[in-house]
């Protein structure tokens, strides 16, 4: 039980995530990918006569069960399989982030930026609202996210997914190194 309660190392978590790909294929020819559920929810709730949202989203209901499962899994892991608490990141990262103004390292996300209180500040708005917009717009424009392109796409040897994944990384490096230092000063 102690092993389950500790944070899992990459060589345990990574292969387990990899096994989700064949599991979904064998359980019903489903390809792993999360961002398509965002399109589905839009199609179901706010289609607004936009052609992109006029499709038979009910055919992919399995996907909605899958994300409901992720929410439940998150609940189970956080409440029954012990609280992760402070994340054991590299001390160098902590020092660098402290220099850029982050004070709180107690949870999974820094409370200075991600909290209901921070939402009323410009910083919180930029990180949560603008960040969310970029994630939603970008994944759909790119036709997939980390699960659909990086894991499902590359493992099934789709070269366009490799291109998309490289662009994910480039975007992330640009944000972290060139833009984030300014945004953290807001």
Partner 1 sequence: MKNLKFLLVGICFGIILIKSEVISWFRIQEMFRLQSFHMYGIIGSAIVVAMIAIVLIKRFNIKTIYQEPIVIPDKKFNWGYVYGGLIFGLGWALTGACPGPLFAQIGSGILVTTVTLLSALAGTWVYGLLREKLPH
Quote the tokens at residue 61. 């209901």
Quote the CA–CA distance of 21 and 12 in Å, as a whole number. Answer: 16
Of the pair 122, 137, the CB lying nearest partner 1 is at 137
Query: Closest by alpha carbon to 7, among 60, 124, 65, 86?
Result: 86
Of the pair 101, 143, the CB lying nearest partner 1 is at 143
Work out how close the CB of 44 gets to partner 1 at its nearest, in angstroms, rounded to a whole number: 11
Of the pair 96, 122, the CB lying nearest partner 1 is at 96
80: Cα separation from own chain's centroid: 22
Supply angle C-alpha 43, 44, 45, rounded to 5. Answer: 100
Work out how close the CB of 24 gets to partner 1 at its nearest, in angstroms, rounded to a whole number: 6
Work out how close the CB of 95 gets to partner 1 at its nearest, in angstroms, rounded to a whole number: 10
Spatial contact of 152 and 31, defined as CB atoms under 8 Å apart? yes
Of the pair 21, 101, the CB lying nearest partner 1 is at 21
Work out how close the CB of 101 gets to partner 1 at its nearest, in angstroms, rounded to a whole number: 13
């Amino acid at each position: 039980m102690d092993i389950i309660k500790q944070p899992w190392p990459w060589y345990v978590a990574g292969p387990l995530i990899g096994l989700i790909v064949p599991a979904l294929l064998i359980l019903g020819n489903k390809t792993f990918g999360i961002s398509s559920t965002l399109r589905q929810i839009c199609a179901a709730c706010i289609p607004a006569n936009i052609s992109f949202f006029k499709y038979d989203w009910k055919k992919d209901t399995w996907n909605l069960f899958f994300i409901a499962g992720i929410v439940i899994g998150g609940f189970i892991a956080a409440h029954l399989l012990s609280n992760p608490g402070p994340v054991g990141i590299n001390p160098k990262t902590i020092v660098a982030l402290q220099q850029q103004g982050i004070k709180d390292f107690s949870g999974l996300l820094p409370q200075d930026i991600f909290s209901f209180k921070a939402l009323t500040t410009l910083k919180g708005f930029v990180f949560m609202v603008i960040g969310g917009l970029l994630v939603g717009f970008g994944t759909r424009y790119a036709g997939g996210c980390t699960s659909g392109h990086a894991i499902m796409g590359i493992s099934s040897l789709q070269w366009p997914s490799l291109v998309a994944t490289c662009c994910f990384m480039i975007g992330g490096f640009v944000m972290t190194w060139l833009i984030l230092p300014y945004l953290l000063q807001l």
